[in-house]
Structure 1
């Protein structure tokens, strides 16, 4: 029986370049913010993304891309997250669950307000591209300001590039002619319950009520 604690991800920093890969990088702080905006508060377990569903989706895409390119690809997935000082015990079960599913995790302490993981995500993508193993990339984020130019540059070089996120917050990707956009809720099984979303671009003829995110009385506090 293999000891999973001794398993080393083939793409760990410092490791030799591995086989051709379809790379997924997940911007946890950004997507959590987008999900909270849709829900109007902190997500409950029913509205947390199921990473096993995301993993199966990535495997299916990797298999399809392998057939298209005529070469075997190995999917690689990493979740990038910040850890607020003092919150390690709260986040540890989530990190361990991700690793058990097969995702790598890059965790960075949130020492200042602008201590983001976006530069680390971009550096990881560039490292894989520089190693010559990148055959496709999926970025789960709505942060077009930091990712748009780099992703469109990769797409212009012939790499298939997909953005995962929420269409309400990723107009830059939805409108792009070179990037594919996939709404997270389109992935089968990724949410246990449908998200309470209202698309302002596709309102019902009779209109729709948009409830406040918090009571008006909160202004007096």
Structure 2
């Protein structure tokens, strides 16, 4: 059996204890964070997973108290690894595992290769095992997750989405889903995010910086000219 097969077997191992499950869509949240910052996130604005873990432990305790039975937290970060990026990604993956998170890493073979199907499969797996007592999805991708989450909520399983309110209108609008803005979780960010809420602008107005320089249009035009 190959190393990949060993890892897959570990990932699909059955759970027998009541579980509060967190699945984290790393590519999606990185994209959302980059949109807020207007640039690639630096260490100052990277989420601290130890803080997320503590939040999930508290969530599991709340569910335990409500149900009158012990519920254990389980957290997995789902990510893509591009060709040649393994050495860059490895320290981050090892840090996550050291905190207590599992990691599901999938090669970025094509542009549209993503981890959403794997996240959905993992949620469904825990449900089929009969251990799912609550589920938290960290993602802004409502198109993929909303239907399953609302079905679980209809069955009495508490469902939560964590992310950024700027990109989570689908979760905010759902009566079945609880939404928690990532920045509301204590200690997740070392510094406040430079967010501008168009619904709550300061009286003096606010500057919204471009996500990319105007000259990038020249690159787009040159690329089209060569096609």
Question: Which TM bucket (shorter chain)?
Answer: over 0.9
Which residue does 1:130 correspond to in 2? 128
Which contiguous aligned blocks of 4+ residues in structure 1 show a shift greater than 4 angstroms? none
Q: Paired residue for 1:26, among 15, 21, 24?
A: 24
After superposition, residues 79-158 of structure 1 pair within 5 angstroms as 79-158=77-156
Shift, 1:206, TM fit = 2.6
**Are the counterparts in 1 of residues 60 and 73 from structure 2 also a CA contact under 8 Å?**
yes
Matched, 1:186 2:184: yes
> Which SS does the other structure have where 1:22 is aligned?
strand
Superimposed CA distance per residue, residues 13-63 of structure 1 (whole angstroms, 9 cap, x where no aligned partner): 343432000000000000000000000110000000000000000001111
**Structure 2 CA distance, aligned partners of 1:71 and 1:110?**
40
Q: Which of these residues, 205, 208, 214, is aligned with residue 206 of structure 2?
A: 208
Residue 199 of structure 1 is matched in structure 2 by: 197
Question: Map of 1:39-58 to 2, 5 A cutoff?
Answer: 39-58=37-56
Instruction: Tell me the secondary structure at the aligned position of residue 153 of structure 1.
Output: helix
- Which stretch of structure 1 is more off in the superposition, 72-81 or 202-211? 202-211
SS at 1:128 equivalent: helix
Q: Which residue is equivalent to 1:174?
A: 172
More helix by share: 2
Cα deviations across residues 74-121 of structure 1 (Å, max 9, x unaligned)?
A: 100000000001100000000000000000000000001111100000
Equivalent residue number for residue 6 of structure 1: none
Cα distance in structure 2, aligned partners of 1:126 and 1:73: 18
The secondary structure found in structure 2 opposite 1:149 is helix
- Root-mean-square deviation (CA), in Å? 1.4
TM-score between the two structures when normalised by the length of structure 2: 0.90
Unaligned runs of 5+ in 1: 1-8
Listed as ranges, the gaps of 5+ residues in structure 2 are 1-6, 220-227
Shift of 1:203: 1.3
